[in-house]
Structure 1
């Protein structure tokens, strides 16, 4: 979420925001995103970041499916982060951090997968956010952005600039929602030299 979006009152009311997401059907999208990540074949110990985590549904569901992953959620709203921590429970190993996508508080090359689910349309500076995702992503990592289809072109423009060496792909999830992925180009292995 961006600072601009943070000033909108709904982001200060995570329980209401969560109820609205349920009514709009976003909860099923969060379940889908968590299932996608759980089924991605990430090795044990891989680090996953959910940017714009809101009430923390994706990290919480993912942790239930893949407790062997190191999962983090970031959101600009302190209220959302507090709600996510409470929803995850005191025994949860998920780390939730209050942060703007344009200034993430993580070292370079920290994550194997970064996802954003229905948050990109709130980012005030998509280009800066995309550059930050690239900075915190490991060289072999991927970015998955679940978003309204009519925002995907803007997302693609920002990702293409930040990830020139990556392959971008759009996949439809529903009539309104799609997923944009950024993956490192597959490098062709040189042919073995013959003796």
Structure 2
């Protein structure tokens, strides 16, 4: 699994904030509409927390958690959270999506944006998402459309039996569908 550390983390943070802004806003609107009042959301592969910060502005009632393998990205995110005065609403942890430091059944929705292509163990990550989601919870994964959905679909069939997987092409900044959204 690749991570962004040091200067790479700082560069990624600056670029991601600008380049992914419209995608993050769209996802946040969808999440805000889907999660119940006082619900809990996990952002898997949160980077520096851009998506969670936007979501906190839209839905002050939500409990928000983000995990990322990069300690440097988490440090940048914690600084942003502190500057926004949201330490009581957003928790960020350096952790692998294949081994989440989260309680069973604690989240209404797990969302992951532009992270899956970094995961070595998609199957293990999906198993962890199934573990931390409430029984009626939802899993939304957004990534580049060229990322094969085969391993993801296989893991979803195993860990979310009887629940359909939906794939949607998402238009963001570019005039063609660059991102694919997967929902369970």
How does the TM-score come out when normalised to structure 1? 0.83
Distance 1:178 1:5, change over 3 A: same
Residue of structure 1 equivalent to 2:75:
82
For residue 64 of structure 1, give the secondary structure of its aligned residue in structure 2: helix
Whether 1:51 and 2:47 are equivalent positions in the alignment is no
Q: Is the 8 A contact 1:152 1:178 kept in 2?
A: no
**Which position in structure 2 is the counterpart of 1:139?**
135
1:27 aligns with 2:21: yes
SS in 2 for 1:5: coil
Q: CA deviation at 1:71?
A: 0.7
Moved more, 63-72 or 84-93: 84-93
SS at match of 2:103: coil
Q: Which has the larger radius of gyration?
A: 1
Shift of 1:157: 2.7
Q: Which runs of 5+ in 1 are unaligned?
A: 183-195
C-alpha distance in 2, partners of 1:122/1:11?
14
Partner Cα separation in structure 2 for residue 148 and residue 66 of structure 1: 27
Q: In structure 2, what is the equivalent of residue 125 of structure 1?
A: 121
- Count of residues in Structure 1 that have an aligned counterpart in Structure 2: 174
Query: Which of 62, 72, 79 is residue 65 of structure 2 equivalent to?
Result: 72
Gaps of 5+ in 2: 172-176
Task: Please identify runs of 4+ aligned residues in structure 1 that moved more than 6 A.
Answer: none
What corresponds to 2:174 in structure 1? none
- 1:145-181 CA deviation, whole Å, 9 max, x = no partner? 0111121513223322221231110111132101100
Q: 2:166, 2:130 → 1: CA distance?
A: 16
